[in-house]
Amino acid sequence: MSQFHIEKVTAKEDFNKAIEIRRKVFIEEQNVPIHEEIDIYEEAAVHYLVFVGDTPVATLRFRLWKGYLKIERAATLKEHRGKGIMTKLLVYVQEEGLKLYPDYLLFIHAQYDVLKFYEKLGWVAVGPVFDESKIKHQVMIFLPDSKEKIKNLKCLQDPEVPSYVARVLWTTLKE
């Protein structure tokens, strides 16, 4: 496989490339309605692209939501799947996000069919399975690497933290 590199999206042209990948994956392949895929959070989110040579092949975004760093819209073009590209991108974004926002819990609505992918990277499924855009999803969290970091999470200060998230965090603290 050709070498690939990750770039944070800073230009409108690259933002459009990220949207095009998402259009192909979510709208064309998975039949997600465009009004659900492209949302009001586009400008507030931090977007990333993976390039193989000069060709954009994968994307994801993250945004702050309450006490969470929410990873969203992870998509790889079909012909580039299974090559470790999304693994590298996700790990990179996890590391970058936690450097910038160490007191935020990494959080994702993972498509149910790819839960194992996230689990291999240390993510933990919590809460019930639910439909989003007619696709089964489950909330997953990435636990901080120390009890001290868990104690400092902003989401634990939120009275609206979902009980299934709080339960996992408090149980981890007691271990």
Beta pairing class for 105-111 and 55-65: unpaired
CATH number at residue 85: 3.40.630.30
| Per-residue model confidence as pLDDT tens digits over 72-83 | 999 999 999 999
Domain extent, residue 108, equals 4-174
- Domain total of the chain: 1
Pull the structure tokens for residue 87: 């693994």
| Whole-number Å distance between alpha carbons of 86 and 117 | 10
| Per-residue model confidence as pLDDT tens digits over 95-146 | 999 999 999 999 999 999 999 999 999 999 999 999 999 999 999 999 999 9
Write down the pTM of the prediction.
0.93
Instruction: Specify which residues 111 forms β-bridges with.
Output: 137
